[in-house]
Structures are given as structure tokens and as C-alpha cells.
Chain A
Amino acid sequence: MKREIPILIVGITGFAMLIQYFIPTDWSEFIFTYSQDWVIVIGIIAMPLGIWSLVKANVNKLKVPGERFYSAVLLGGFLIMVLTCLKEESRMAGSFHMDLFNYVLVPIQATIFSLLAFFIASAAYRAFRARSILATILLLTAFLIMARFIPLGPISIINLKIDAWILQVPNMAANRAIMMGIGLGATATAMKIILGIERTYMGHD
């Protein structure tokens, strides 16, 4: 029974939302907006679970010699950020809390993001090695696409046309095929959930 009731709720809600999609009236829009608001509310209610998990896991790691340092930094940072945002004005520009956010957290995030540039190079090197006919075609195509940013005089005009064809015909065709598959796959998964065929996410009795 513990499992049947949630499946019934999911099924009824799923069908209701499916019907709602085709009804443009105000009450139908209200139901949609209201349900979206509930997603946010549930997310906020679940936040203490996340904080508890984070603190618990890292407090436990304080006992592990190799992990101790990282967990101490994390818990220290967490405490500082919480304590510095208790006052209402701490969210104003120039407050210590906002300074920590803007001048410590944001640059660290930018640093991690910038790693992407180096990883693109290393991944491209592996992907574009001409080990087979398909890999060689990939290499040549990538070369042509990248070469469009290089001014090569009259050759650039021909290359731009080739690149436009590559992007708009074979690339677009593949993209659309994948998108169609994703659309159908998403619909199938949604149907499976509504009909109660897919219930892995629901846990045990």
C-alpha cells in the first residue's frame, strides 16, 4: 500500500498535467504555475537535508588523516559564510559577506571554469588522432571548421561556404535526429512514470 498510493498520486498528477497542457484557460494556467511553485517549495524544504548531509560527511572525514585538511577548510568556510550573513545588511555591496563572495568564491569559480580551455585541447588531441577512416574524416572536418576563423584570403571565401554546408546540412541533420530521439525518449519515460511502469526513483516499501 505504501507503494501503490504514491504511484496513484504520480499517475493522477501526470495525467492532469498532460490534460492541462492542452487547455489554455486561466484555471489551467493557475494549476501549472501553482505546481511549479510547489517544486520550488519542496526544494527549499529539502535544503536542510543537503546541509545536514554536507556537515555530517565532513565532520566524519575530520577523523580521516588524508581527508582532514579539506574537510576542515570546507567546514570553516561554511561557518564563516553563515555567520557573516546573519545581519540584514550583510547582503549589501561592500559588506564582509559580499566581499568574501565576490573576491574569494567568484575568482575560484572562474579558475575552475578556465580549466576547460586546457581540457578542450587535451580532449581534442585524443579525439582527432587519425586512427581510423572515421577519425580522419572527423579530423579533416574539425580542421575546416576551425580554419574559418583564420584569414586566408580568397581561400577563406570557399572555406566559409564549405563550413556553412557542414554546419547546416550534415551537422544539422544529426542534431535533429538526436533531438527527435530525445523528444520521444523523454515522452516514453514520462509515460512509463505516469503508468507506473518506471518506479525505480520511488524507493522501497
Chain B
Amino acid sequence: MNYFNRVLFALMLLLMIGGGVLAQDTGLTAVAAPDTLGPPAPQPPTNITVTDREDDGGHGLVIRWELSEDDGQGLNNVNMYDILRSSALDGEYMSRGIVPSGTNEFIDEDDQELTGSDPNLNFMPTGSTWYYKLAAISVENVRSVESEVVAGTTESNLFHWGKLPILFGVLIFGGFLLAFISQAKKGRELYVRPLSGINAVDDAIGRATEMGKPILFILGLGTAGDIATIAGFTILARVARRTAEYQTKVLVPVQDPVVLAVAQETVRTAYLEAGRPDQYNPDNVFYVTALQFPYVAAVNGIMLREKPATNFYCGKFYAESLILAETGNIAGSIQISGTDEIGQLPFFVAATDYTLIGEELYAASAYLSREPVQLGTLKAQDYTKAVAMVIVIIGAVLITLGLPFLLNLITVSL
């Protein structure tokens, strides 16, 4: 039995060594030469062109070719194409990528110029010339002869043509904006539909005054550069002005030092404009922490200890939205929320009394100030939306009829 085991072990060892050698022979890196007596080599791709990649800073080239005669026809044995590149015509050609059969385009780009001790040797500077040739590789890993060498030079583009539809959109919107601002300045009455969330702001401040309790204003987790946070500042300004008039305390816990500076300035200005600079207490606008859940813990603590009459949530919110809003609900506060985070809107709708959905948050500034110029921007928004709706409807009809030209016209390539 012992002898049998040794023989079996020796056999297994032989099999493993043999298998290893065979595996080495069939590896992708060891491709058979085209003229050996094995499986036939495919024909190489032809008519190769190398052009500058459009809409970039001059760090890419587009390589196109006609498929090998054995790709999908002839011997039908092409498995992939190897794209080889060199910085000199007679230089060393290195593989830049492999694409599957049936593909006739490859984008070669590298804009990462790493300097110092670890330079990027593949970096393609603007104005540099590169030489390309291609080879087809069969399903049996047999390589074709290499194609002719074609050169291409990278160029920097001054305009991103793929973003042209965006530029048109901006110009249309800008046109509407200027037209309505001009009309508003001439004194034309502009109607905007009422928003219950905005209408509730004054009532909520009045409630806090009657109850003698503070108002809690939460600007969310955004930075001062987020549009939602900026919209939050405009609502804060209005709320602070009213609280200054009613002599009600407004607490603003923030999680970003820059937001803190802007929020303090916004509240200070509101108190000045209300004619009560002496009432302004900078300690009521305070920094808590930059971390999400410690911020939630701190604000929840304030809600449960101070029992604010009204909570405002205006800005960028993430997973903390529902925790805050439900705690506010437990504390018995009236709650007005507004965010442009689509994922958090259902939570606010479920847990707060009024919600400003997406663009309504941005529009709050115009609603609250009622300045004609501000209302003009709202009108411009509405008209641009109408244009977008018309394009969507016409586009849907054309696509249904198999006419994609409108879609091609407005498609953006970044």
C-alpha cells in the first residue's frame, strides 16, 4: 500500500509539472509567430488613421482602422487587436491597449504629467508626435504581421464642441433672464404661484414669538460654495430679520467654519437692517463639528433641551435628514425643510410639516424678498423649463418615429 501511494504521488507530480509547462506554452504573452506551421495567422487591419482627439487639451489621439479581412469574414479567426505605439518611427513599439474583434477605434490619451522622482513616461504632451501600428491576434493567439506605421500629433483645442448644447442652453436662459429683469425694472407685475412652505415661514416665526421659544435654523452639511447652502443663507437672512423684529432667539449650529463666518455675517446684517444691532448675539451662530453624526448628536441635543418652536432645515442634507426631522417632531416643533438632495426629499416630506422641493429652495429668496428683479429670474426659469418641455416632447415623438437627429443635436459629450 505504501508503494502504491509513492507511485501515485510520483504520477501526480509528473502531471503537475507537465501541466505547468503546457500552461506556460498557451499563455497570452507567448504568442506564436505568424509563419509557423500551426493555426493560420489573421490578416492585419488596414487603412489606419491617427487624428487628434477633439475637445481636449492636446493629450490624446484617436486611432481608427478598417477591420482585418479575417474579422467576421474570411478565416473569421480574429480575437482582438493590439495597438502599438512609439515616440519615434524606428523606436521601440509598446502595446497601448487591446480591443476586441469588431472594434475599429481606440482612444490613446494620457494627461497626467507626473514630475519629480516618478515621471509618467506615457504622458502625451501637447504638440507631440506618436507613431502607431496595429496587429490582429487570432483566437489561437497567433499574431498577424504588423500593419503600416501611421503618425499623429496631439493638438490643444480652444473650444469644447461637445459642450455646445450647454452653451446654447445657458444663452437661452441668459436671454430670458435679461428680458424679464428688464421688464421687472420697468415695473411690470410678475405673477408667481404661491408656495405653502414659503407662506408658512412668517407663521412659524410668529409661533415661536408667542411661545417664547427659540427658532433653530440648520444649514445642513454643505459647504459655503454649495448652491443649496447659499439658498439657505437667503432664507436665514429673512428669518433672522423677522426674529430681530419680534425679539425671538434664532440658533444656528453649523458644521463648516466658512459657513459659520457667512452665517454670522448674514444674521448680523439682518439685525442691522431690522434696526436692532444690539440684539445680535454672535454666540447664537456657532460651530459644532465637521463630522456628520456628531453634528446630528449635538443638534438633537439642542432640540430636546431647548424645545425650539420652529426648526428650519435649508441646505444640503444626507443620511442625517430623517434623524434630525424625527427628533424635531418628537420635540413638538413646527418644521420647514428644503433641500436639493433628491434622495432626502422623501424623508423630509414624511417627517416635516412643509418641504421646499429642489428648485423651490432656490426660489425662496425671490419669494421672500418679492423684489421685481428676483421675481424676473423666476420667470426666466419657468420659460426655460417650458422650452425644455417642448424639446422633450418633440424629441420623444421623433425618437418614436425613428428620427434621432434632435437627440444627436442636444447630446452633450463631456
- A49, A53, A60, A191: the one within 8 Å of B173 (CB): A191
> Chain A 142-159, CB within 8 Å of chain B: the 1/0 string?
000000000000000000
Complex CA–CA separation, A13 to B319 (angstroms): 33
Q: How far is the CB of A33 from chain B (nearest CB, A)?
A: 12
Contacting pair A54 B156 (CB below 8 A): no
Also in contact, A203 and B291, with CB within 8 A (given A25-B158, A60-B283, A192-B377): no
Contacting pair A186 B227 (CB below 8 A): yes
- B256, B289, B292, B385: the one within 8 Å of A184 (CB): B385
Interface SS of chain B: helix
Q: Which residue of A lies closest to B126 (CB)?
A: A26
> Chain A 40-53, CB within 8 Å of chain B: the 1/0 string?
00110011111101
Complex CA–CA separation, A123 to B381 (angstroms): 33
Contacting pair B257 A49 (CB below 8 A): yes
A109: chain B residues at CB < 8 Å are: 291-294
A191: chain B residues at CB < 8 Å are: 173-174, 177, 377
Contacting pair A124 B350 (CB below 8 A): yes
- A46, A57, A70, A200: the one within 8 Å of B257 (CB): A46
Complex CA–CA separation, A108 to B294 (angstroms): 8
Contacting pair B257 A201 (CB below 8 A): no
Counted as pairs of residues, one from A and one from B, with CB atoms less than 8 Å apart, the total is 197
Let me know if A122 is at the binding interface, CB within 8 A.
yes
Q: How far is the CB of A136 from chain B (nearest CB, A)?
A: 15
Contacting pair B258 A43 (CB below 8 A): yes
Let me know if A126 is at the binding interface, CB within 8 A.
yes
Q: How far is the CB of B158 from chain A (nearest CB, A)?
A: 6
Complex CA–CA separation, A197 to B357 (angstroms): 23
Also in contact, A25 and B157, with CB within 8 A (given A43-B223, A113-B319, A127-B350): yes
Complex CA–CA separation, A124 to B329 (angstroms): 13
Q: How far is the CB of B155 from chain A (nearest CB, A)?
A: 10
Interface SS of chain A: helix
B342: chain A residues at CB < 8 Å are: 175, 178-179, 182
- B234, B273, B297, B323: the one within 8 Å of A108 (CB): B297
Contacting pair B361 A185 (CB below 8 A): yes
Let me know if B57 is at the binding interface, CB within 8 A.
yes
Q: Which residue of A lies closest to B376 (CB)?
A: A197
Let me know if A28 is at the binding interface, CB within 8 A.
yes
Q: How far is the CB of B268 from chain A (nearest CB, A)?
A: 7
Contacting pair A182 B359 (CB below 8 A): yes
Q: How many residues of A contact B (CB 8 A)?
A: 63
Contacting pair B385 A180 (CB below 8 A): yes
How big is the B interface, by class? 35 or more
- A124, A184, A197, A203: the one within 8 Å of B381 (CB): A184
Contacting pair B297 A112 (CB below 8 A): yes
Let me know if A115 is at the binding interface, CB within 8 A.
yes
Let me know if A189 is at the binding interface, CB within 8 A.
yes
Contacting pair B347 A123 (CB below 8 A): yes
Q: List A95-141 residues whose CB lies under 8 Å from chain B.
A: 105, 108-109, 112-113, 115-116, 119-120, 122-124, 126-127
Q: List B366-414 residues whose CB lies under 8 Å from chain A.
A: 373-374, 377-378, 380-381, 384-385, 388
Contacting pair A178 B345 (CB below 8 A): yes
Also in contact, A22 and B268, with CB within 8 A (given A192-B374, A200-B234): no
Complex CA–CA separation, A22 to B163 (angstroms): 7
A51: chain B residues at CB < 8 Å are: 287
B301: chain A residues at CB < 8 Å are: 70
Q: How far is the CB of A32 from chain B (nearest CB, A)?
A: 11
Q: How far is the CB of A169 from chain B (nearest CB, A)?
A: 13
Q: How far is the CB of B356 from chain A (nearest CB, A)?
A: 10
Let me know if A162 is at the binding interface, CB within 8 A.
no
Please provide the 3 A-B residue pairs with the shortest distance between their CB atoms, ordered closest to farther: A185-B359, A50-B257, A203-B265
Chain A residues in the interface with B (C-beta under 8 A): 18, 21-26, 28-29, 39, 42-43, 46-51, 53-54, 56-57, 60, 66-67, 70, 105, 108-109, 112-113, 115-116, 119-120, 122-124, 126-127, 175, 178-182, 184-193, 197-198, 200-204
